[in-house]
Amino acid sequence: MSFPERRLRRLRRTSALRDLMAETRLGVSDLVAPLFVRDGIDAPVPVASMPGVYQHTRESLRREVRVLADLGIPGLLLFGIPAVKDDEGSGAWDAEGVVPTAVREIRQEIGDAMVVMADLCLDEYTSHGHCGVLTTPSPGQGATESVVDNDATLELYSRVAVAQGAAGVDLVAPSGMMDGQVTAIRRALDQAGHPQVGVMAYAAKYASAAYGPFRDAVDVTIDGDRRAYQQDCRNFREALVEVDLDVAEGADIVMIKPAMTSLDVIAAVRSRVNLPVAAYHVSGEYSMVKAAAERGWLDGPAMALEQITAVKRAGADFVVTYFARELAEALHA
Ligand code: PBG
């Protein structure tokens, strides 16, 4: 035989050998479940493009959170859909609004058993579906010019942070990709007496077709797109600049999304910063697996496990995923 006797198959022979040799170990404690709660409905509404995902009533949310806590899932990320949307998205900072109210109820249900995070953005609350306040367009303004007023939006994000902090979240998760958002939110939380509330920054967030199903989940129809504030997927170094800035601005955790198309970024960020690194396996990533599985084209649970494991292997310390409950049930089985 001409090849050296380095036979890697030796350690792949049995399931026990493979388990012992596994470099990446995905456990229930690596998972964060995104959840949707909607005002003004009296039964949970299934999200058509995301089989198994619901817009919850406050009551069904509470029940779901109890199940997740009992499964040992350590975190949840909450999104709200208000009964009424307006130009500014004022429902987002209403202390009696859908998310603050749900957060208080979740605390009653589970105490500190799970890390409670809230998405901090305005798109679910604005009538136009953008992540901030719109600029008044000047005549002849081109489509590529920014439609969202960055600094005016920061003012509103600060209010949202305070409302979510007062309601009792552990972490706020700003997802709007406004420049300076972490600084503004950190300052607002501190000034309002919530220094213990952390910021999980959506630090490198690419504009992506993979957010398609999410728009169904939060009833957002957006006029145009988000390319003037979210990142261009052709860029890698820019993601590192975004991450460095968020770290400098005081982020406690940096998050990268989408996951499957950003494995290079996740790996680079993991070796670059010493803060926790999270990845968000987003709606479209979930729906692609579900849709193919429904057609019998692939094994859905196996594909889900493979993808989330790969995200961890790339360097994520934990993964926000719509598969959280399903994976936790499988990992316990
Ligand atoms: C914005 C926000 C989005 C997602 C999380 N926060 C939508 C967007 O940026 O268009 C997407 C999450 C997903 O697709 O699962 N508030």
Give residue-wise pLDDT tens across range 204-237.
999 999 999 999 999 898 878 899 999 999 999 9
Side chain identity at 111, as an amino acid letter?
A: G
- What is the number of the ligand 1 atom nearest to the C-alpha of 124? 16
Which residue type is seen at 104?
Answer: R
Nearest CA to ligand 1 atom 11: 211
Percent of the chain with pLDDT over 90: 92
How many A from CA of 15 to the centre of ligand 1? 38
For residue range 91-115, what is the model confidence (pLDDT) as tens digits? 999 999 999 999 999 999 999 999 9
Q: Is 55 within 8 Å of 97 (Cβ atoms)?
A: no
Q: What is the pLDDT of residue 144?
A: 46
Distance 300 CA to ligand 1 centre (A): 23
Of 19-23, 144-148, 246-250, minimum mean pLDDT range: 144-148
The predicted structure's pLDDT at residue 140? 61
Q: Which helix (H) or strand (E) holds 45?
A: strand 45-46
Q: pLDDT digit string (tens) for 255-306?
A: 999 999 999 999 999 999 999 999 999 999 999 999 999 999 999 999 999 9
Rounded mean pLDDT, 55-67: 98
CB 8 within 8 A of CB 298: no
Ligand 1 centroid – CA 97 distance (Å): 20
128 vs 320, more confident: 320
pLDDT tens per residue, range 28-41: 999 999 999 999 99
Q: Which amino acid is at 112?
A: D
The mean per-residue pLDDT over the stretch 9-18 comes to 97
Q: What pLDDT, on a 0 to 100 scale, did the predictor assign at position 239?
A: 98
Q: Label residue 25 by pLDDT band (50, 70, 90).
A: very high
Is 52 in a helix, a strand, or coil? coil
Distance CA 195, CA 192 (A): 8
Is a pLDDT exceeding 60 seen at residue 63?
yes
CA–CA distance, 297 with 36 (Å, rounded to integer): 29
Residue 131 to residue 153: CA distance in whole angstroms: 8
Looking at the predicted structure, is the pLDDT value of residue 143 above 60?
no
- Please give the pLDDT value at position 271: 98
Pocket of ligand 1 (CB under 6 A): 119, 121, 123, 131, 175, 211, 214, 226, 282-283
To the nearest whole number, what is the mean pLDDT of the chain?
95
CA–CA gap between residue 56 and residue 227 (Å, rounded): 30
For position 139, what pLDDT does the model report? 61
Supply the residue whose CA is at minimum distance from atom 7 of ligand 1. Answer: 211
Note the pLDDT of residue 62.
Answer: 98
Other C-beta atoms lying within 10 Å of the C-beta of residue 60: 18
* 257 counts as catalytic: yes
Model confidence band, residue 52 (pLDDT cutoffs 50, 70, 90): very high
Taking every pair of Cα atoms in the chain, the longest distance, rounded to a whole number of angstroms, is 76
